[in-house]
Chains A and B, each alone.
Chain A
Amino acid sequence: MNPIVTDGVSRAYGDELALDRLTIEVAPGEIHAIVGLNGAGKTTLMRILMGMIRPDSGRALLHGSDVIEVPGRTWADVGHMIESPFGYPELTVVENISAAAKLRGIPSGDVAAAADSVVKRFELGRWADRRARALSMGNRQRLGLACALVHTPGVIVLDEPSNSLDPAGVVLVRDLMRHEAAEGAAILVSSHHLDELARVAHRISVLHRGRLIGNIDPDGFDLERRFFELVHGAETSVGEGVHRA
């Protein structure tokens, strides 16, 4: 079974259906991108996968285990950054990364080496001893990514990872995702930047009103046009449904 699977997952907030029987999979070594308008359900999907909220129906599975009762051993292979990056303002960059490494189950003897490695990888060396509160938004984002990936996880879930990043940071994240996927990681990523996703994703799924409404070929042309065609088509069918009712 693939490392990331959702099987008919639904979730509502009150009367509003945020996810509607959603089924997706991410294979080892695959970068699966999710795109959609604001409120499409991308973050809800990722929150369900990370056990932050429970689905009303259906199942979300990581390495074959339902996330509601997934063992600690499985979580040790997961890295995620959803919405806010990890970073306690009173701790320095290195202290934050070390804290994240400890909470992710890295043995204490290996924490310093893991932190050092990820500081270099995310080019945070200049700010290593600076408190997180004094970092720019872009560097806080880099810190959050460093904390999420300090343990080189096999399952990676990233919500808008290139938010606030400068062009160099965007390239860095792109290279990092490619590298991790080449090492066998299953990566689920969301973004509003279609062109950016097309450069790294093996598969792009379009989410709208909590449903998968189609796919976009990452190697295709005029991705935005294809995206809006899918969204418009979905809206039209919803409108027709309302008229018929």
Chain B
Amino acid sequence: MFPVTTIHYLFLSTALLLIGTMGVLTRRNLLVVLMSIELILNAVNINLVAFSNYLGNVNGQVFVIFVITAAAAEVAVALGILIALFRNKETIHADEIDILKW
């Protein structure tokens, strides 16, 4: 079996990013859309860690910590908005929340 190089991790991260993008664009349920955003952020993190290992430098890992912080903040606020939305509109489907559309 040939050795695993950085490019393998880049391929994996690309695939994960594409799956997450598809989830964001196609799913109706807002909870699943948020989970797809987590997939995208994880793809970015895999990339950062792979390059951090390739260059022998921990700066990439520090960036991953900040990305995880931003993800936690984003999820907390987004889920709060989701609860408020559900209380007012009785739906969490992305295509039924269209009061800003004309």
Q: Real complex partners, A and B?
A: no
A residues apposed to B, CB below 8 Å: none
B residues apposed to A, CB below 8 Å: none
